[in-house]
Structure 1
Amino acid sequence: MKRLVPAVTRAMDILELFLDRDGPLTAPDIVRELGLPRTTVHELTATLVARGYLVPEQVGGYRLGVRLYQLGSRYAEQLDLAAEGRAVAQQVAAKCQETVHVAVLEDTDVIYIAKIDSTQAVRLVSAAGRRLPAHCTAVGKMLLASLPEEELRRRIPDGTALAAMTARSITDTAALRTELAATRERGTAIEESESNADVACVAAPVRDRAGQVVAALSISVPGIRWSPERRAELEELAAAGAAELSARLGHRRARA
């Protein structure tokens, strides 16, 4: 087991005291409940207040801050996204008989939160929960292409050495930016043997009720079943599936 950071553990202990409490919590309450020194409690609560996790009461004590509500809401959104993503992925997989994923972006990686396997004998072997470099995948390219330019350059500064998963992986930031520009123009992302030498993939963006891209839906195909014609078919299916998932998340397309 990796070493735990004592200060972080103590801060979490303070927050978790509210799980069994309805009213505010005072510093003496914390000292008594957790057996911590007063100075330590003062430093921890001051930090939690500064970060928005606690709010000081005028009459003394603390109540939970809005930051915890934001995190809880975000957690709930992820749960809904995973559940709805799996349901839509199942529909798309039934139509194309290929492997379908839904993934989200975390820094410069993608994490697959839903996966439906192909029913074909030759198929992609993967798993939900897997993490891959975003620039090597169709879902990752779609999600990176959806970032504001300033945010994209913050995450992947010019000149960054990009890891290669296959001989066809993009390793140059200039080439990646060109690819992302084409992805924005096309509205779908394409990956041909960049994360797996034997697999090609298409992806489309998933939007929330505010219109923000929060995930991407992809269809993965073994190279033996990949062709320009098949690619066009799968792009349409991925876009339709992503639109359906977006609608389930509350997104409404703007009228032309």
Structure 2
Amino acid sequence: MSVKSAERVLRVFELVAHHPEGLTIKEISENLSFPQSSTSNLVGTLFEEGYLNQDSLKRYKLGPKLVQLGTLAMESLDISSQGTPHLKKLMEDVQETVFMAVLSERELVYVAKIDNNRSIRTTAQPGYRKPLYCTGLGKAFLAFLPQNEKNAILDYAELSPITKNTITDRQELEKELKRFAGMGYSIDDEENEEGLYCLAAPIFGADHTIQAAISVAGPKERMISRKEFIADKLLQTSKEISKSIGHS
């Protein structure tokens, strides 16, 4: 037998998750057909406890505690642990650093990193967050997310220059994302860190939606000289991990 209050909390989370731009109490109440007074109390409690955030327009979005829980849930769902043996083999094949990341609200969160003994220094570490528009992993998400989700993220994003190569024009970025969708993988050409070149590919779940992304990163000259070989190994690995979590 379900508990009514717990059921309402879950329905609020599910609704807000599908509206990254946020919703007011009135909009939540109307969408879920809950009384506005009880919705106000429920949302207020979730906000105070850190499970929801509130912006300047009093619109509610998913909060930081859910990011922590989501990261733990992701580990227990075994996307990273299912993928780790495949990532290790990929690292051995290409002899470069390999990453896996998941989407958390409008940013990526690294969940795995497999270092190679000739790895170059990078700021990316498991648990770290980075923007989507200027990273290979992030652009893999943007290239393969449903159009409405991609638009919601880009509408919110401030395309600030991180390096001289960062793409800051949305039209140019969208053109590039379309090309990546056709290629099956994305590219970060020193757009987030000087000297770092990255190829990234999507991981799809049983419902055919992107669940994670994996990448190979290394010095630009070394990566470009073996680009086709690395891309082939990357795509092969992404298909194997996707299959391991139910994608067919």
Please point out which of 231, 234, 237 is paired with 1:238: 234
Does structure 2 retain, via aligned residues, the 8 Å contact 1:206–1:246? yes
C-alpha distance in 2 between matches for 1:103 and 1:139: 7
Corresponding letter in the other structure for 2:244:
R
Does structure 2 retain, via aligned residues, the 8 Å contact 1:118–1:124? no
C-alpha distance in 2 between matches for 1:45 and 1:163: 36
CA deviations over 1:16-57 (Å, ceiling 9, x no partner): xxxxxxxxxxxxxxxxxxxxxxxxxx9589738xx9xxxxxx
Please point out which of 180, 187, 204 is paired with 1:207: 204
Does structure 1 retain, via aligned residues, the 8 Å contact 2:217–2:223? no
- How far residue 124 of structure 1 moved from its aligned partner, in angstroms, is 3.6
The answer to whether the aligner puts 1:198 opposite 2:195 as a matched pair is: yes
Instruction: Normalising by structure 2, report the TM-score.
Output: 0.68
Give ranges in structure 2 of 5+ residues lacking alignment.
Answer: 10-36, 47-68
The answer to whether the aligner puts 1:189 opposite 2:199 as a matched pair is: no
Change (3 A) 1:162 1:74: closer
Identity %: 28
- How far residue 74 of structure 1 moved from its aligned partner, in angstroms, is 9.3
The answer to whether the aligner puts 1:152 opposite 2:147 as a matched pair is: no
Corresponding letter in the other structure for 2:92:
A
Does structure 2 retain, via aligned residues, the 8 Å contact 1:204–1:216? yes
Please point out which of 82, 85, 90 is paired with 2:83: 85
C-alpha distance in 2 between matches for 1:184 and 1:241: 17
The answer to whether the aligner puts 1:47 opposite 2:42 as a matched pair is: yes
Change (3 A) 1:170 1:45: closer
Does structure 2 retain, via aligned residues, the 8 Å contact 1:124–1:199? no
Give ranges in structure 1 of 5+ residues lacking alignment.
Answer: 1-10, 16-41, 52-71
Change (3 A) 1:45 1:124: same
C-alpha distance in 2 between matches for 1:93 and 1:201: 13
CA deviations over 1:72-115 (Å, ceiling 9, x no partner): 99964543112123222111101111000011122332111111
Q: After the TM superposition, which segments of 4 or more aligned residues of structure 1 sit over 4 Å from their partners?
A: 42-46, 72-78
**Partner in structure 2 of residue 171 of structure 1:** 168
C-alpha distance in 1 between matches for 2:202 and 2:38: 43
C-alpha distance in 2 between matches for 1:88 and 1:170: 31
C-alpha distance in 1 between matches for 2:160 and 2:190: 14
Change (3 A) 1:44 1:180: closer
Structure 1 segment 9-48 matched on structure 2, within 5 A: 47=42
C-alpha distance in 2 between matches for 1:178 and 1:73: 31
- How far residue 164 of structure 1 moved from its aligned partner, in angstroms, is 1.9
Does structure 2 retain, via aligned residues, the 8 Å contact 1:161–1:172? no
CA deviations over 1:157-209 (Å, ceiling 9, x no partner): 29x53022111011111111011101111111011100111110001110111
C-alpha distance in 1 between matches for 2:74 and 2:130: 22
Does structure 1 retain, via aligned residues, the 8 Å contact 2:145–2:209? no
C-alpha distance in 2 between matches for 1:212 and 1:161: 25
Does structure 1 retain, via aligned residues, the 8 Å contact 2:161–2:167? yes
Change (3 A) 1:89 1:146: same
Does structure 1 retain, via aligned residues, the 8 Å contact 2:143–2:181? yes
Corresponding letter in the other structure for 2:42:
T
C-alpha distance in 1 between matches for 2:208 and 2:105: 20
Change (3 A) 1:74 1:208: farther
- How far residue 142 of structure 1 moved from its aligned partner, in angstroms, is 0.8
